[in-house]
Structure formats: structure tokens, C-alpha cells
């Protein structure tokens, strides 16, 4: 209760102020009219807006209260909503979010919609549609967190998701983007070896999470995060990538190794300014490609901050970002 009160006070104090550096976890971005809107992990999913992706204003949060279905479904809900994804489709915005008990695969992915992202618009209203995917300990060797939506060449929507356990998954959605398509099609798209056999209720090692599929150059690029977040100066997060001709995979790295066998080529990791960098998304805005992620600042007590880097492409069509800043 004390932690929630502190967060609520911070929301009140910081809403409406403009910041050039913002403290975020698991950021995703979209454009709406002349603004960019950023959504991130937090109490009710935190919202920021910016005219230039440099100066950000805090606009509050998506949910003022936890949806009733969450507490009815999860007895040990951790309180925060994690790792959102935001897309525009069917003339509305879809906001996906994760709810979970920390360190367990007692998890769900929910979705809410809005006709606009402008809080001054009379049509501004988040409508929650409840649970899309759920993982259950003892039944599922996967974890229903970290959702991201992608469309294949036929316009079919898919959701990638997952963290640790048996790896990252991909499932086909219906056109309403709120339900799993029938018959269900589940694919494992990336995983890392686990050094020990443990009970399915434990995550263990095999640290991989936060899939994001980005279509470019005739390929589907699968960005993922290896190793560990959320440990301050001890964090070891880094961003890896593989690619495939089909959205279902197989995703292969630069060396020809499958991401089903622990493969992945390095995109970005910690450096002189950051202890670790991870949980990315990738976008094209105004003809330029961008990598959006968070890092643990070496110069500010390892606080989690927004990082946005332009992506270029090498002669073999692999993504390249500046490693030095």
C-alpha cells in the first residue's frame, strides 16, 4: 500500500511537466496526429507524449484502477502492469499489457482499446476487453507476458510473447485482435538452453524474453532480450536478433544458428554509459527506422531510462545501431 501511495503521488507531481530524460521500463511508442505516445510498465501503464521523441510530457496512465478480471483471475497479482504493446488497427488503438506474479508463470495478457490517444479529444476513453492469453503453472511451460503484435504478408495478425521457461511463443489471433484464432496455432520461435531440470513452476535460467517482430527487407526480424533485467548495476540485459522469411520461423542469426538453439546476433548491450540495455521495440517513423528500449544509467544510480536509436542496415540487411552512446 505504501509503495502504491508513493507512485500515485509521483503521478500527480510529474503529470504535465516536460522532461528531456525520462525514467521508463519496457517502452513502446506510436504516432498519433502530430505527437508520439509512449507506454511503459507501471501502475496502470504509464503514458508519455512528445512532439519530437526528445521532450516528453507525462500524461497519466491507462488504468486508474486494476480491471476486476485481473484480481479475479490472479490470486497473487504483483500490482503493476508490465511490458505493453501499442498498435493502430481497425480504426482504433489496441493496448496490450501483462499482469503476473513476479517470477512465476501465473500470468495473463490483456487488451484495451481507444479511438484516440489525445486526452483532450471527447472520444478519448480506454475500454478494457479482458484476458487474451493466460499461462498456468503445471500446465504451461511458457509465460504469458511481454506481448507484441505483428502482421504477416497476408495481413494475418500474430502475437509473440514470453519470458524464460520453454522460450518465446507465437500464436495466431482473430481479426478482432482480442481472441486467439481457431484452430489454435502455437509456435516456439526462440529459446535458450536451461542448465538444470527444474519444476515447471520455476523460471530457472535460459534467460530470454521480450520478443518483437519487425518486417523489413523481405525478412521478419525477431528482436529479443538475453540475460537479466531489473537488477540495477548487476543487470546484464542485451538485445539480440535473428530473421526468417516466414513469420513462424525458423529465425536464424548471422552465423546461421537457429534461435531455437540459443542463437541470436548482438544488436546492443551495455557500454561506458549503460550497465545493460534491453526490452526493445522497432518502428519506422517518417521514413527512418528506430530501436526503442531502456537502459540502466551508469551515471545516475543505474536508473532505468529511455533509449531511442536510429537503425541502419548493413550490406547483408542486418540491423546496425550506434554502440557508443
Query: For 31-99, where are the alpha helices, taking DSSP H only?
Result: 68-73
**Is 78 annotated to bind ligand?**
no
Instruction: Say if residue 289 carries a ligand binding annotation.
Output: no
Q: Which helix (H) or strand (E) holds 9?
A: helix 2-14
105 marked as binding residue: no
65 is catalytic: no
Phi, psi for residue 145 in degrees, rounded to 5: -140, 175
- Residue 112: name the closest of 88, 133, 93, 90 by CA: 93
185 counts as catalytic: no
Q: 103 labelled as ligand-binding?
A: yes
Q: Please return the burial class of 155, using the count of CB atoms within 10 Å of its CB with bins 0-12, 13-18 and 19+.
A: exposed
- Is the CA virtual torsion 63, 66, 68, 70 positive or negative? positive
**Residue 258 annotated as part of some ligand binding site:** no
Cell of 57: 510530457
**Between the CA of residue 202 and those of 103, 199, 209, 259, what are the distances in Å?**
7, 6, 15, 22
**277 assigned to a ligand binding site:** no
Q: Is residue 194 a contact partner of residue 205, using CB atoms and an 8 Å limit? A: yes
Residue 280 annotated as lining a ligand binding site: no
Q: Are 261 and 237 in contact (CB under 8 A)?
A: no
The residues, any chain, with a CB within 8 Å of residue 267's CB and separated by 6 or more, are 223, 238, 239, 240, 241, 280, 291, 319, 321
Q: Which of 85, 209, 253, 297 is catalytic?
A: 209
Nearest to 6 by CA among 99, 63, 80, 94: 80
Active site residues: 26, 209
- Known binding-site positions for substrate: 26, 103, 143-146, 163-165
- Known binding-site positions: 26, 103, 143-146, 163-165
Amino acid at each position: 500500500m505504501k509503495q502504491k501511495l508513493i507512485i500515485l503521488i509521483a503521478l500527480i507531481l510529474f503529470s504535465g511537466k516536460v522532461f528531456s530524460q525520462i525514467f521508463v521500463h519496457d517502452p513502446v511508442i506510436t504516432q498519433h496526429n502530430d505527437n508520439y505516445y509512449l507506454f511503459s510498465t507501471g501502475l496502470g501503464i504509464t503514458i508519455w507524449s512528445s512532439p519530437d521523441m526528445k521532450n516528453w510530457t507525462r500524461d497519466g496512465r491507462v488504468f486508474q484502477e486494476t480491471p476486476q478480471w485481473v484480481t479475479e483471475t490472479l490470486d497473487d497479482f504483483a500490482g503493476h502492469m508490465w511490458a505493453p504493446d501499442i498498435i493502430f488497427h481497425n480504426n482504433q488503438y489496441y493496448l496490450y499489457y501483462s499482469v503476473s506474479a513476479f517470477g512465476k508463470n501465473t500470468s495473463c495478457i490483456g487488451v484495451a482499446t481507444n479511438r484516440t490517444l489525445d486526452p483532450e479529444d471527447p472520444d478519448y476513453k480506454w475500454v478494457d476487453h479482458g484476458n487474451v492469453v493466460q499461462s498456468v503453472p503445471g500446465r504451461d511451460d511458457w509465460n504469458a507476458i511481454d506481448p507484441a503484435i505483428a502482421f504477416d504478408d497476408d495481413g494475418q495478425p500474430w502475437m509473440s510473447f514470453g519470458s524464460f521457461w520453454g522460450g518465446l511463443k507465437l500464436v495466431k489471433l482473430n481479426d478482432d485482435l482480442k481472441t486467439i484464432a481457431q484452430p489454435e496455432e502455437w509456435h516456439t520461435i526462440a529459446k535458450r538452453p536451461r542448465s538444470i531440470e527444474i519444476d515447471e513452476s520455476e523460471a530457472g535460467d535460459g534467460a530470454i524474453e521480450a520478443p518483437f517482430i519487425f518486417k523489413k527487407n523481405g525478412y521478419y526480424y525477431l528482436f529479443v532480450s538475453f540475460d537479466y533485467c531489473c537488477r540495477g548495476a548487476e543487470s546484464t540485459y542485451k538485445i539480440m536478433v535473428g530473421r526468417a522469411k516466414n513469420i513462424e520461423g525458423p529465425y536464424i542469426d548471422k552465423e546461421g544458428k537457429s534461435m531455437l538453439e540459443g542463437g541470436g546476433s548482438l544488436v546492443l548491450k551495455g557500454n561506458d554509459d549503460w550497465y545493460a540495455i534491453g526490452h526493445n521495440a522497432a518502428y519506422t517513423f517518417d521514413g527512418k527506422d528506430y530501436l526503442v528500449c531502456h537502459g540502466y544509467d551508469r551515471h545516475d544510480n543505474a536508473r532505468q531510462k529511455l533509449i531511442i536509436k536510429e537503425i541502419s542496415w548493413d550490406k547483408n540487411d542486418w540491423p546496425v545501431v550506434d554502440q557508443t552512446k
